[in-house]
Chains A and B, each alone.
Chain A
Amino acid sequence: MTDRVLSDAYPEGGFWHLEAYLKSGGYEAARKALSGMKPEAVVDEVKRASLRGRGGAGFPAGVKWSFVPRTTDKPVYVCVNADEGEPGTAKDRAILTHNPHAVLEGLLIIAFAVGAHDAYIYIRGEYEALARRLEGAIGEAEKKGFLGARVLGLDFRLDVAVHRGAGAYICGEETALLESIEGRRGEPRLKPPFPALVGLFQAPTVINNVETVACVPLIIRHGADWFVKQGLPRDGGTRVFTVSGAVVRPGLYELPLGTTLRELIFVHAGGLRPGRTLKAVIPGGLSAPLLRADEVDLPLDFDSLAKSGSMLGSAAVIVLDDTASMLTVLNVIARFYAHESCGQCTPCRLGTAWIRKAVTRLVEGLGEARDLDEIVRVAEAIKGRTLCPLGDAAALPTIALVTKFRGELEAALHG
């Protein structure tokens, strides 16, 4: 009986094969939904389960689906976002490696719920080996009638294709992802209209992250109440946390939403290396403002992290110990966003480049204290002034780092 998105996928070798997945009750949830439930009932069940988007935004998945018009003369599309690019995050890679059929089954249930017959899985180009495995899984599912012209022998068609990205962080943003599938530069679109109304090829489209999709069969199988109990009332289920950086056991940990950050680091990930002390934690991927060591006693869920001034994001936890140079961290952040800004919005295009220039001066030993003020001033000027969240993703961690570790950065000036 599978109760987890990832953890259950490990025990027997070869779980990614259809046969192993079926043995554990795979595709039973899809059968239950497609042959015994109305699409609206599927949407309601997922709404009640408080399943929130695991790509990072935390938007309730069922609510997102309910925006898709019930009657439309256009086709409806579902896209699975497997563009995992948020630095620190390796969970979708693991889910697709070990449990690809859970993603396909979830996709099938979503397609049924919103009336879609064509789906695309957008996978980042660096995951080429994984893309081939995924295509193998799709082939297996088609052969056994879980995808294709008559799914489960019913009058329901679903064709799934894998679309490979080509190296652009921004394509993880849902409207940039749509642009990329359509064969253009991945430049985010102005919202509204939201993709649920005007999405891929101008048609209604649902875009969900891999982990979100993989949760859907569990909700249909065990029910919304069960799913909520795996996590919190406003944030149901588990999360697959990616822990990296200065811990004894970096890895993937699937735990209930609401587990504390301290427990994740010091119990599950084995704590810090001998003799080291905790300096700071980035709790939700590089875009999440970092927390100081005295701020880690908080539960890991979307609302608690937002209240702390950071975000749960992609649940990628990067741990920094006392050996970490905050100037190095700042340099990595500045370089990354300057490189990945798509260039469409002036505050982000210019601002990230200015910040990078100033940080480079600091790294080369040519900086002055006023450069730190300038970095914060420019970051403030990006914040809230861009089409997509990349601007804030560049600005907020920069501001948090310079503000919280100003003393160390100033000391490095004279270093």
Chain B
Amino acid sequence: MSLTLSAGAMASVEAAERRYPRPQAALLPILQIIQTELGYIPVEAEIWAAERLGLPPVRVREVMSFYTLLRRRKPGRHIVQVCRNLSCTLNGAEDLLSRLAEKWGVRPGETSADGRFSLLTVECLGNCPEAPCLQVDDADYGKVTAQALDEILTGLD
């Protein structure tokens, strides 16, 4: 199965394979490198990773279906993860969530029609004193108010 990765990504894949005494341990890092490159992990990439590591493809699918951060579908240009665990819920997380859902006309797990944002819920981002908190791509935001939320999102393409 063919998959074309950039030279940089290929170098990262090879480095990951060297990092462990058993190459199969490089599966998670390889899937993460692919996702960073493509934004998601298409089925061809699953098969490519399986062939590369000498695994049956089902072993890759087992892993894909277990970990919530591994995506099988292309997401929006930005991923907004709203924490809804206890500290955030006590501090207004559900309001932030419904505000975004209404604004984009989506349910959690879906992408806005213009392809800009995917809205996700997440169970605890480990930023509880800053509740309510969320992550936009890799950036953390805390003590998020409705107004702050609008400002964060306006700055994104």
Contact = CB atoms under 8 A, between A and B. Distances in A.
Interface of A: 75, 84-90, 92-93, 124-129, 161, 163-169, 180-186, 201, 242-246, 250-252, 282, 286, 316, 318, 320, 324, 328-329, 332-333, 336, 339-340, 342
26 contacts: A87-B123, A87-B128, A89-B124, A93-B127, A125-B32, A125-B67, A126-B81, A127-B126, A163-B29, A164-B28, A167-B68, A181-B25, A184-B59, A185-B66, A186-B67, A201-B20, A243-B129, A244-B129, A245-B91, A252-B129, A316-B128, A332-B86, A332-B89, A333-B86, A339-B123, A340-B123
B54 to A, nearest CB: 12
Contacts of B81: 126
A185 B58 CA distance: 12
A90 B128 contact: yes
Interface string B112-140: 00000000001111111111000100111
A346 to B, nearest CB: 18
A316 to B, nearest CB: 7
Interface of B: 19-22, 24-29, 31-32, 53, 59, 62-63, 66-70, 81, 84-87, 89-91, 122-131, 135, 138-140
Given A90-B128, A168-B67, A332-B85, A324 B90 contact: yes
Contact of A126 (B87, B122, B129): B122
Contacts of B129: 90, 242-244, 250-252
B135 to A, nearest CB: 7
A190 B122 CA distance: 29
Contact of A87 (B25, B32, B87): B87
A90 B86 contact: no
Given A166-B69, A243-B129, A252-B129, A183 B28 contact: yes
Given A166-B67, A201-B22, A93 B126 contact: yes
Contacts of A85: 123-124, 126
B83 to A, nearest CB: 9
Contact of A246 (B90, B123, B139): B90
A181 B19 CA distance: 11
Contact of B86 (A182, A250, A282): A282
A184 B64 CA distance: 10
Contacts of A318: 86-87, 90, 128
Contacts, number: 138
Contacts of B69: 125-126, 165-167
A87 B70 contact: no
A406 B27 CA distance: 47
B128 A89 contact: yes
Contacts of B19: 161
Contacts of B131: 244-245, 250
A245 B90 CA distance: 6
Contacts of A320: 90
- Closest 4 A-B residue pairs measured CB to CB? A166-B67, A183-B27, A167-B68, A167-B69
A316 B26 CA distance: 33
A87 B66 contact: no
B126 A124 contact: yes
B140 A129 contact: yes
Given A127-B126, A182-B24, A318-B87, A164 B62 contact: no
A286 B86 CA distance: 8
A201 B27 contact: no
A245 B130 CA distance: 9
B148 to A, nearest CB: 17
Given A125-B69, A318-B86, A92 B128 contact: no
Contacts of B126: 84-85, 89-90, 92-93, 124, 126-127
Contacts of A90: 126-130
A414 B32 CA distance: 49
Residue from A126, A182, A328 whose CB has the most chain B CB atoms within 10 Å: A126
A316 B87 CA distance: 11
